[in-house]
């Protein structure tokens, strides 16, 4: 299949490479020359504009920084320029309203579109083990599934347009809050004189257990290997967790939902990032507790 890929950064670079490995002809574009050079090394054909990349494409995949950029790329250069038969898949993490607005504009021009944000970081993007949460019609999901399956281990239909983004921010709001709760419990356990491995052995089998504890323990040397064992580098940056929490808090305000834990998690990640830790893995917030 001819697939245009827009946004070949930390995540998109590996995802595009996995589409090539699956046998697709990938037509890549990014504003960064370095990203384009890496894409060529990975077997993509590169182009000098979005419009050139989407020419004749059967599908368009994007992995871009934020909603404003997604909106401008789709409205200026994808909609009306890619063939109307092309399936549009935006895998970026963006706000629900923009996801719905872009999908509506695409639909008005005769395209089918899904929002398909991911769970899993750079390692999962490179390894083809992402989880995709997909918003769109049944028919669009059926078309999207085999394309996304080449880049991930799970592809889940969350509901209508925007539902993928809604699932993503709700999931990450749980993650942000449980990571902080896990960090503060370990910090308190230490001050109370508990051995941290012993506390892990107890709590990981008791009701305090969570993914933040048993898959991504914020304490070095405790639990399976995690960024804590690597100086809190190379995982999911605190700045990206803050981005997702802000999206969740904004979405909550737009529908009148109360999210006091998510809001507090957002404040704590804001302070952590402002103190120069934006690039630190989000579990590194234990150092601030
Ligand atoms: P990144 O900054 O590494 O990559 C974004 C790429 O988009 C860059 O290469 C940039 O040059 C390119 N770009 C920006 N504007 C463009 C435009 N107008 N046209 C073409 N290319 C353009 O970011 P990333 O870490 O790859 O994240 C991408 C998306 O994935 C974000 O929405 C992020 O929230 C989400 N995400 C990231 C992670 C992670 O661990 N990094 C995990 C899950 C989801």
Answer with the one of 125, 159, 193 that is the final residue of a domain: 159
Residues 11 and 86 in one domain: yes
Integer Cα distance of 261 and 267 in angstroms: 10
Nearest to 153 by CA among 129, 173, 186, 171: 129
- Report pLDDT digits (tens) over 38-74: 999 999 999 999 999 999 999 999 999 999 999 999 9
Burial string for 2-17 (b: 16+ CB within 10 Å, else e) reads bbbbbbbbebbbbbbb
**Atom 7 (ligand 1) nearest CA:** 7
Residues 75 and 209 in one domain: no
Q: How many CA atoms lie within 13 A of 65 on its CB side?
A: 6
Same domain, yes or no, for 32 and 170? no
Q: How confident is the model at residue 260 (pLDDT cuts 50, 70, 90)?
A: very high
Residues 145 and 15 in one domain: yes
Please name every residue paired with 59 in a beta bridge, in sequence order, or none if there are none. Answer: 3, 87
Claim to verify: residue 155 and residue 182 sit in the same structural domain: no
pLDDT exceeding 70 applies to what percent of the chain? 100
Look at residue 235 and tell me whether its pLDDT is greater than 90: no
Ligand 1 site, residue 122, Cβ cutoff 6 A: yes
- Are 144 and 209 within one domain? no
**Confidence band, pLDDT 50/70/90 cuts, at residue 234:** confident
36 lies in the same domain as 152: yes
Catalytic residue list contains 21: no
Question: Do 38 and 87 reside in the same domain of the chain?
Answer: yes
Are residues 178 and 42 located together in one domain of the fold?
no
What is the pTM assigned to this prediction?
Answer: 0.94
| Gap between the Cα atoms of 279 and 274, Å rounded | 11
Strand 2-6 and strand 59-62: the pairing is: parallel
Number of domains in the chain: 2
CA angle, 86 then 91 then 92, to 5°: 130
> Residue 276 class from Cβ within 10 Å (0-12 exposed, 13-18 middle, 19+ buried)?
exposed
Q: Tell me the CA–centroid distance for residue 183 and ligand 1, in Å.
A: 28
Rounded to the nearest angstrom, the distance between the alpha carbon of 93 and the centre of ligand 1 is 9
- Which structural domain, as residue segments, surrounds residue 122? 2-159
The answer on 91 and 133 residing in a single domain is yes
Report the alpha-carbon distance of residue 169 to residue 25 in Å, rounded: 32
Distance 92 CA to ligand 1 centre (A): 7
Give yes or no for residue 22 having a pLDDT over 90. Answer: yes
Which of 159, 184, 208 terminates a domain? The answer is 159
What does the pLDDT look like over 69-122, one tens digit per residue?
Answer: 999 999 999 999 999 999 999 999 999 999 999 999 999 999 999 999 999 888
Q: Are 56 and 30 in contact, with CB atoms under 8 Å apart?
A: no
Q: Which of 13, 54, 64 to mutate to test the pocket of ligand 1 (most atoms within 8 A of CB)?
A: 64
283/172 same-domain check = yes
Check whether 265 has a pLDDT greater than 90. yes
Strands 118-119 and 130-135: antiparallel
Distance CA 152, CA 155 (A): 7
Residue 255: give its domain's CATH number: 1.10.1040.10
Q: Does residue 93's CB lie within 6 angstroms of at least one atom of ligand 1? A: yes
- The whole-number pLDDT of residue 176 equals 98
Backbone angles phi, psi at 144, to 5 degrees: -75, -35
3-state DSSP helix/strand/coil % of the chain, to nearest 5: 55, 15, 30
Residue finishing a domain among 159, 188, 209: 159
Average pLDDT of the residues in 17-31: 98
Residues 262 and 121 in one domain: no
Give me the catalytic one of 101, 168, 205, 287.
Answer: 168
CATH code for the domain in which residue 90 is found: 3.40.50.720
Q: How far is the C-alpha of 248 from the C-alpha of 173, rounded, in Å?
A: 7
């Amino acid at each position: 299949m001819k697939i245009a890929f827009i946004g070949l950064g930390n995540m998109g670079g590996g995802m595009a490479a996995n589409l090539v490995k699956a046998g697709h002809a990938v037509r890549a574009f990014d504003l960064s020359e370095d990203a384009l050079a890496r894409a060529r090394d990975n077997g993509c054909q590169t182009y000098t504009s979005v419009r050139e990349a989407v020419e004749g494409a059967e599908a368009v995949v994007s992995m871009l920084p934020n909603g404003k950029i997604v909106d401008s790329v789709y409205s200026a250069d994808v909609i009306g320029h890619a063939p109307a038969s092309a399936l549009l898949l935006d895998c970026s993490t963006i706000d629900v309203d923009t996801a719905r607005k872009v999908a509506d504009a695409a639909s008005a021009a005769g395209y089918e579109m899904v929002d398909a944000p991911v769970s899993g970081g750079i390692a999962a993007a490179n390894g083809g083990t992402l989880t995709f949460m997909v918003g769109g019609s049944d028919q669009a999901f059926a078309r999207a599934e085999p394309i996304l399956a080449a880049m991930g281990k799970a592809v889940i239909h969350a509901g209508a347009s925007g539902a993928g983004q809604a699932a993503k921010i709700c999931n990450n709001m749980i993650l942000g809050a449980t990571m902080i709760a896990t960090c503060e419990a370990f910090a308190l356990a230490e001050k109370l004189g508990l051995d941290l491995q012993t506390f892990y052995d107890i709590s990981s089998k008791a009701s305090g257990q969570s993914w933040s504890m048993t898959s991504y323990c914020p304490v070095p040397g405790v639990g399976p290997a995690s960024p804590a064992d690597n100086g809190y580098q190379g995982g999911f940056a605190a700045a990206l967790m803050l981005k997702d929490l802000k999206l969740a808090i904004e979405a909550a305000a737009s529908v009148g939902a109360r999210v006091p834990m998510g809001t507090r998690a957002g404040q704590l990640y804001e302070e952590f990032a402002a103190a120069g830790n934006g690039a630190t893995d989000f579990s590194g917030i234990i150092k601030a507790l």
